[in-house]
Amino acid sequence: MSATATSTATAVRTSLDTAIEQGTRRLLELQRPDGIWVGELESNVTMTAQHLFWNHALGLRTPELDKGIANELMHRMRDDGTWAIWFEGPPDLSTSIEAYVALRMCGVDPGREALDYIRRAGGIPKARLFTKCFLALLGQWPWQRMVPIPPELVLLPPSSPFSIYDFSCWARQTFVALAVAQSQRPVRHADVDLSAIGAIPGRTKPAPRPNALRRRALRVAERWIREHQEADGSWGGIQPPWVWGIVALAALGHGLDDPTLAKAVAGWEGFLVRDGARIRPEACQSPIWDTGLAVLALRACGVSADHPQLRAAGDYLLREEVTGRGDWAIRSPDLAPGGWAFEFENDLYPDTDDAAVIALALRELDRGDDAVRRGLDWLVGMQSRSGGWGAFDVDNEAMWLYGMPFCDFGKVTDEPSADVTAHALEVLGRERGYDDAKERGLAWLLDEQERDGSWFGRWGVNHLYGTGAALPGLEACGVPYDHPAFTRATRWLDSVQQESGGFGEDIRSYADPAWRGRASFTTPSQTAWALMAYVAAGNAEGESARRAADYLCAVQRADGDWDERHFTGTGFPLDFMIRYHLYRITFPLLALGRMRERLSG
């Protein structure tokens, strides 16, 4: 190495040392006393508006709740009087309608611009199914004017050509509860005039008298809902089935003396964010995922596995191992349970992504070999026939479901994705005994590389996330650095790196390929994903990696943290986007730590 190159590498290592030291200190400060890292999972204002709607339906509104929700909705309204699904995204009609209606219910006038936008965009008649269902619940839209989801679907056995188990787990839970609610047509009228935005108040007809088949379906559906409630009162730890589970049970005539309903209502207290005078619910919470990523980041940055805080994190992760069977067993009846879920209480729905990441974290801590082995065996058993991995189910690829008229709210399938598959390969590639799964997964992942050299990101935005996951997976499986997949991927990254050295990708890339890896902004998390890819490709000493690392060091705050307002997490591409509040620090530290390891090696 030349003297100039040595000097440059030394300078990079020095700046890395400073950034890592400050960032490590900050991340350790963010751990909770119980050993958990968990950041807010921020989404959009429909969560806030719908919280008011279901509380209204059950007669549980309070002046404090109304005020907090109204303050939050007004705070999130943009200057043009609209609301979007993500930060700086385009205005969204259904989101704006729900926020507008909630504000009106709270006695707040959102203003002329909000009204004008909703009317220009077509008003309630052009809204999505979920929005119309909530308005029907409020007596502002006729239940019978929507395509019903037949409760009888729950009677179809999993072995039939079509059943509820063809839907992804999140859609399945939601549709069962929503089908029950639709069949009962519950209404608790909201005393507000919404005619200007196309409301049709007071026009819901009584639900048809159920025949014997419908009565049986409702009994089975109610039992299914009750059996699928989690320990915290939620369903799946996520908002849509939770809200509709509450509405369904109330519509069937149950009150708060019903243990299942009471538990569901009480559970929401743990999901509310009180931000000064504002109140908003989280759509989901990510303690296991956040803790696993924090462990990986801190270990990459050189924190000892015996550090008391990492010991506490390991204790928590081991306590959270899933040992029971859930819906995944419908398609894999002979598979023993294992792995981890995403949320605090979600034992019925562990996911392969958490199983992989937590196994990596525990390996870094040299803890829980038996738990890791059970998790990896479960992970391998969840591999789809194609060789890839979906998140929650095997072979959940019924793409024809999108032709159903009630599937207008985003993803309803859980087909294999590059990012989840890559995370599985990253852990399996380091283990013995899984050669067949690795070979099949590797072939699938290589085949999924796009023509431009990138990979699609299902659970993060977007091609930067997919590529940042794919290359570490390839490296772990022993793919040589001169393989064309590495060359094409790093060439693509070079083509989208910004002048600052950072990276950013607009969410619009999910609809428009011109935005792949491109944006008018940069973010710490997306830059970190690119840097992780460079390092995994053997390019830690390259100019592009150095510039990305320099960017992360330059934009780091004095307290060791980073700022990130853009949404870089994905729930349903374009339809439900997420800002993970800890991504801004865990991924930069993971990337910088891995880079320093390579430069020092």
- Enumerate the active-site residues: 353
Tokens of 66: 């109304």
474 half-sphere exposure, CB direction, 13 A CA radius: 32
Contact between residue 572 and residue 410 where contact means Cβ atoms under 8 Å apart:
yes
- Roughly how many angstroms between the first and final C-alpha of the chain, as a whole number? 14
Number of neighbouring beta carbons within 10 Å of residue 88: 14
Helices 287-300 and 583-600 pack at an angle, to 10 degrees, of: 30
210 half-sphere exposure, CB direction, 13 A CA radius: 17
Q: What is the sign, positive or negative, of the torsion defined by CA atoms of 95, 96, 99, 102? A: negative
**Is 289 in a helix, a strand, or coil?**
helix
566 half-sphere exposure, CB direction, 13 A CA radius: 20
Task: Determine if residue 398 is left, alpha or beta; phi over 0 gives left, psi from -120 to 50 gives alpha, anything else beta.
Answer: beta
For residue 517, give the nearest of 529, 503, 528 by alpha carbon: 503
Looking at residue 578, what DSSP letter applies? E
Contact between residue 281 and residue 271 where contact means Cβ atoms under 8 Å apart:
yes
Q: Phi/psi of residue 490, each to 5°? A: -70, -30
Q: Phi/psi of residue 340, each to 5°? A: -140, 155
Task: Determine if residue 107 is left, alpha or beta; phi over 0 gives left, psi from -120 to 50 gives alpha, anything else beta.
Answer: left
Tokens of 170: 């999140």
| Alpha-carbon gap, residue 351 to 326, rounded angstroms | 11
